[in-house]
A = this chain, B = another copy of it.
Amino acid sequence: MQSTFKKLPPEKQEKIISAATKIFADKGYYQANVAEICTEAGISNGALYKYFKDKESLYISTFEHGIIDLKEKVFERHLVGPGSTYEKLYILLKGIANYGHKDRREIALYFDLGSRAMNKFAAVLSVQIEDMARNYYFELIKEGKQNNEIDKSVNTEKAAYLIDNNINIFAFSLFSEHYDKRFNNYFGSNSKKLSVEKKIQITLELTKKILS
């Protein structure tokens, strides 16, 4: 099935996946309407079912595309090269915030994977995304230790996990009312919402605390 899809001109593929990302992220898997995705992508209903076996298969492809995208545009871009651990983390957080200017939809997609209703997708998708993130944080911490920026006594697994939690929840706050309110509840004032830049600063400080 996907073979037909892969034969399409890249811009068309991109348009379809982008439409699917938008609708799935905004409405959630079950509420997302296949016909709406088609309209958004500018293709007919029938065409979509030539490219993908069914809604599930479209969702999985969309999600996997999101992982690759996130990896290429956010993680890989900032991992390699010089710069201190915290500079890199700052760039990562900026990357997350800017990435998916179309409302950080890949992250919304990622968040939904955690829900009980999506357990059936977790088997296929969880490992892919988690491996990528974990490897990145391990590498970062290893480098930091080599450069004497991070104390060698720090336990890599624990630190990586805490940082990942922390960054995830920062990312969630970019699209989720709930996580945004929660962030404000801890660090903001009622009257004024925290800016993204401020959230990044706080997240960075929290990460420093974890790594200290």
A interface vs B, CB < 8 Å? 25-28, 30-31, 108, 111-119, 122-123, 125-127, 130-131, 134, 155, 157-158, 160-162, 164-166, 169, 172, 175-179, 181-182, 185-187, 202, 205-206, 209-210
Known: A115-B111, A116-B111, A185-B127. A162 touches B210 (CB 8 A): yes
Most buried by B among A25, A166, A175, A182: A182
Other-chain contact of A185, B134, B155, B181, B182 (Cβ < 8 Å): B134
Give the shortest distance, in Å, between A31 (CB) and chain B (any CB).
Answer: 5
Tell me if B30 and A131 are in contact (CB < 8 A).
no
Q: How far is the CB of A97 from chain B (nearest CB, A)?
A: 16
Q: How far is the CA of A169 from the CA of B163 in the complex (A)?
A: 12
Shortest A137–chain B CB gap in Å is 9
Contact in complex: A28, B176 (CB < 8 Å)? no
**Which residues in B have their C-beta under 8 angstroms from that of A181?**
122, 126-127, 130
Residue in B116, B155, B169, B177 whose CB lies within 8 Å of A176: B116
B161 lies within 8 A of A186 (CB): yes
In the bound complex, CA of A125 to CA of B168 (Å): 21
List of B residues within 8 angstroms of A162 by Cβ? 162, 166, 206, 209-210
Q: Of all chain B residues, which has the CB nearest A212?
A: B212
Report, nearest first, the 8 A-B pairs whose CB atoms are least far apart. Answer: A122-B177, A28-B117, A119-B177, A122-B178, A126-B181, A108-B116, A161-B186, A126-B178
Given contacts A117-B26, A117-B28, A166-B165, contact A160 B186 (CB under 8 A): yes
Closest to A154 in B: B209
Q: Which residues of B contact A116 (CB under 8 A)?
A: 25-28, 108, 111-112, 175-176
Q: How far is the CA of A197 from the CA of B177 in the complex (A)?
A: 33
Closest to A209 in B: B158
Tell me, rounded to whole Å, the shortest Cβ–Cβ distance linking A123 to chain B: 7
